[in-house]
Structure 1
């Protein structure tokens, strides 16, 4: 190896030529490498142009040989970049397409090393730049390396139904023998879990609501329930600090007023409740990250760390979508990119990701203020990418005289693998908590409310008795 080689990024001209020449010799070889290579994998610009042109021709079902390829390149106005003579040389220098998959592997391997080298240069540049936070630089470096890993990971191969059936039937049989148990992660709310069978691993679950509906409280309560049940839950809080969230958890488990804690106006019995809350929370694997501005790549890296640390990860909560920054020309495109990335993260981690989202304020103008899917703010992609959409609605927020004081409706507006419906929960904002309702008491309250609003008419004189 000479000094010139050391200054050259990793690449193999011979392998690139062998791939292109093999395709010219045997058009049928395209099916063997179509999902292995992209034009960007080629180091030389003329090779990238040739491969891209070939790909377009194959996808159109056109024959590819020296003459047709040169004609198509000329039609693109790029004949000056690749001459007919060079195209002809490739076809004569390549003996056959028998080893084209091996050649493609060499090309992708060199591309991966070039990407790694480029990432290394960027990381070195970040490390040598004064100013900024070192922790942020480390997170960005991890995101760069993670992106390389994702790029290298092979997608799953197409699978025949015959191959899938045994595993599917075993899964169904296991569920039969575990009748009454939930197939997913239990939220801790019985009625909700009965409708959803728990939060399913790999699902993107949207929890949406207008401000003050309690969506953060509900999502964090679910995370607390998972941790209390022996699981591992990770909460990304882009809005509230970690200490504030823990303070709310203490209030929930101790039954202590959040206002009293905030003001310091506490009684001796509150301190006794603090000890109870401390005991209930201590040792629970509830992890909080309160980085105010982050990305799906950084979240994925942190989630992997948590999973590695504890050996499992049962639930991820993100509060909330609209505080995240994404790529795209419009906010709708940005949010669409974010929800797609978070859905992929859920599948990769094998854990449900609960993503909080705001709703459009337009619903405030309606008579019936129960939210619907079209109220999801700024992006239809949220609805499209979500496996489950839960919307939180509190009737007494809009009507102080509502007979449903202290009750919240969790509206299941979308569920890919289950029914839609409404779950009623008790909401105690003072203690930052939701809990299951007493259905007998709820029925009595509804009956009382109906009687109060529909009084029986006073007895009139007359009839057979008078």
Structure 2
């Protein structure tokens, strides 16, 4: 017990130094046994790392104890401590279940009552769907009395197949380098911000400035390679006009270029979702993730599974960009197939929608082919879009 309390103090000391770690820790008041520790955790959630405000939540007799925790040298307030605290919570929960079951057995209760007790303990951890409610919702969508949520791409021919990206989905946009996966994703998300969708774009490849230059090029018609050069008066007029239009539109777009690992990205997505709400998340791109393990295929699989679960848990759409295998360029038929997905078969397995891009850079550089290779809730097909790569523009 003493060891448990010390662990609680260590974790709380770390959180008092950096309250942003609350999201990473995924802890709750129920993970603390000591009542003062529960109260302190709640105070940190409410006021952050401000020690004076934290102390104001406690009576004078408790404040010295809070200072004692704050003064601890945190040499071990690491992730494993959070995990250990969660493990101890689960152990206590299981001990409670076992005691309840033993009492039920000692009282000679029926098996049905015993199973009911197990279900009562488990339902706090597992959400069970009421099938009647789900079926009523489906019928309401079919009759038009309730509108299903979709986030259209903004491109009519494509949305005839997809209707859009759906909350809870992991979607893939895949292509070989220089084909235009970032350009396509950027045009999708800008169309979606016009529809007042809240979006986060994680750029693992380009800086926020480079992304912003491409957004400005797309909306002004200026070539991207002109963005670092002195502009003509006519170009400045176009840029200023684009800026005015973008000002209101981009209030719903958050750019992040400084996180590369899966834990960082998931933590930031949860933070943004909690802070201001999110409809869609774009991540550019999968192969640049900071991968620690020796087995790249297994690590890629972990990334796609985690993102799929996150999309489902938060009810957001995640759009993950990915590269295709180099072997695509060496075969006669260069239309991309699911087998061309690079690094792991789990990408295909975990994705709800897979869009693959093709463009003949030599003969038809302004024709973008979009191959719908997987569509869990719809049909497959192929559409052509018009593109102007120099200014990052795509049209129907």
Task: State if a TM-score over 0.5 links the two structures.
Answer: yes
Cα distance in structure 2, aligned partners of 1:154 and 1:173: 34
Cα distance in structure 2, aligned partners of 1:195 and 1:386: 16
Cα distance in structure 2, aligned partners of 1:191 and 1:164: 30
Q: Are 1:157 and 2:128 matched, yes or no? A: yes
Q: What is the match of residue 9 of structure 1? A: 4
Q: With CA pairs under 8 Å and 6+ residues apart, which has the higher RCO, 1 or 2?
A: 2
- Kindly state the Cα deviation for residue 229 of structure 1 after the two structures are TM-superposed: 1.7
Distance 1:157 1:118, change over 3 A: farther
Q: What is the match of residue 91 of structure 1? A: none
For 1:186-197, list aligned pairs within 5 A.
186-197=152-163
Cα distance in structure 2, aligned partners of 1:115 and 1:422: 56
3-state SS in 1 of match to 2:144: helix
Bigger shift: 149-158 or 349-358? 149-158
For 1:438-453, list aligned pairs within 5 A.
none
Distance 1:197 1:115, change over 3 A: farther
Cα distance in structure 1, aligned partners of 2:172 and 2:150: 16
2:379 to 391, 397, 419: 419
Q: What is the match of residue 340 of structure 1? A: 305
- Kindly state the Cα deviation for residue 121 of structure 1 after the two structures are TM-superposed: 6.4
Distance 1:254 1:207, change over 3 A: same
Distance 1:302 1:405, change over 3 A: closer
Cα distance in structure 1, aligned partners of 2:26 and 2:315: 21
Q: What is the match of residue 45 of structure 2? A: none
For 1:115-194, list aligned pairs within 5 A.
119-120=11-12, 142-145=23-26, 154-157=125-128, 159=130, 161-162=131-132, 164-174=134-144, 183-194=149-160
Cα distance in structure 2, aligned partners of 1:234 and 1:287: 5
1:428 to 364, 378, 388: 388
Q: What is the match of residue 367 of structure 2? A: 407
Q: Is the 8 A contact 1:223 1:234 kept in 2?
A: no
3-state SS in 1 of match to 2:357: strand
3-state SS in 1 of match to 2:168: coil
3-state SS in 1 of match to 2:201: strand
- Kindly state the Cα deviation for residue 305 of structure 1 after the two structures are TM-superposed: 3.1
Distance 1:327 1:193, change over 3 A: same
Give TM-score, length-normalised by structure 1: 0.60
Q: Is the 8 A contact 1:327 1:333 kept in 2?
A: no
Distance 1:425 1:376, change over 3 A: same
- Kindly state the Cα deviation for residue 292 of structure 1 after the two structures are TM-superposed: 4.3
Q: What is the match of residue 255 of structure 1? A: 221
For 1:196-275, list aligned pairs within 5 A.
196-262=162-228, 264-275=229-240
- Kindly state the Cα deviation for residue 140 of structure 1 after the two structures are TM-superposed: 5.6
Q: Which runs of 5+ in 2 are unaligned?
A: 28-81, 91-123
Q: Is the 8 A contact 2:172 2:351 kept in 1?
A: yes
Q: Deviations over 1:12-48 (max 9, x none)?
A: xxxxxxxxxxxxxxxxxxxxxxxxxxxxxxxxxxxxx
Q: What is the match of residue 258 of structure 2? A: 291
Cα distance in structure 1, aligned partners of 2:371 and 2:315: 25
Distance 1:325 1:155, change over 3 A: farther
Cα distance in structure 1, aligned partners of 2:237 and 2:348: 45
1:313 to 278, 284, 300: 278
3-state SS in 2 of match to 1:8: helix
- Kindly state the Cα deviation for residue 298 of structure 1 after the two structures are TM-superposed: 2.7
- Kindly state the Cα deviation for residue 157 of structure 1 after the two structures are TM-superposed: 2.2
Distance 1:307 1:325, change over 3 A: same
Cα distance in structure 1, aligned partners of 2:86 and 2:167: 20
Distance 1:374 1:183, change over 3 A: same
Q: Is the 8 A contact 2:149 2:167 kept in 1?
A: no
Q: What is the match of residue 359 of structure 2? A: 394
CA RMSD, Structure 1 to Structure 2 (Å): 2.7
- Kindly state the Cα deviation for residue 294 of structure 1 after the two structures are TM-superposed: 2.7
Cα distance in structure 1, aligned partners of 2:220 and 2:177: 25
Distance 1:183 1:8, change over 3 A: closer
Give TM-score, length-normalised by structure 2: 0.70
Q: Is the 8 A contact 1:314 1:351 kept in 2?
A: yes
Cα distance in structure 1, aligned partners of 2:239 and 2:293: 47
- Kindly state the Cα deviation for residue 118 of structure 1 after the two structures are TM-superposed: 6.3
3-state SS in 2 of match to 1:344: helix
3-state SS in 2 of match to 1:371: coil
Cα distance in structure 2, aligned partners of 1:378 and 1:138: 36
Distance 1:278 1:162, change over 3 A: closer
